[in-house]
Amino acid sequence: MGSILVSPKAVLYSQSSIKGEFTDGRAFKDMIESIATKKLSPNDLPPIEVIEKDGKLWAISGNRRLFNYKLLNLLGFCDKIKVKVLKNCRPYLMKKRMTSKTGGKSIKIRGENSKELIDELILTAILVKYLHIG
């Protein structure tokens, strides 16, 4: 099937939790601000790899980006994201990645400051949207 554009709302989290920063150490706030100010488009980033299971799309990779896309979508900044639909996903990879206990509807941010992180991300997006700060 290759890459397609879908709403972030159409993709479910496969993992039960994520770390509050990207693998390379970048802050979520940087991505939120860059997309909200249109310095970056979701299409500039690698597609989220998904599998289709029971008619639903599950993120096998990119759960952290998906979290940010869903927040941006909620605030009106991100209507569509690029996903790559994998046809053959190895069973061990699915078992390793499919840890969600909420049917993929929500995800927890690990760490002591997770609530503060979410507040900061929402505030950043709101400031950019309504005050054109960023």
CATH number of 104's domain:
3.90.1530
pTM for the predicted model, two decimal places: 0.86
User: In the predicted model, is pLDDT for residue 3 greater than 60?
Assistant: yes
Q: How many domains does the chain have?
A: 1
Residues of the chain with pLDDT > 90: what percent? 58
User: In the predicted model, is pLDDT for residue 119 greater than 90?
Assistant: no
Q: What is the pLDDT of residue 126?
A: 78
**Full DSSP string of the chain:** -EEEEE-GGGEEE-SSEEESB-TTS-BHHHHHHHHHTTSS-GGGSPPEEEEEETTEEEESS-HHHHHHHHHHHHTTS-S-EEEEE-S---HHHHHHH---SSTTS--EEESTTHHHHHHHHHHHHHHHHHH---
pLDDT tens per residue across span 67-97: 999 999 988 899 999 999 998 777 666 667 7
- Domain that includes residue 90, residue range: 2-131
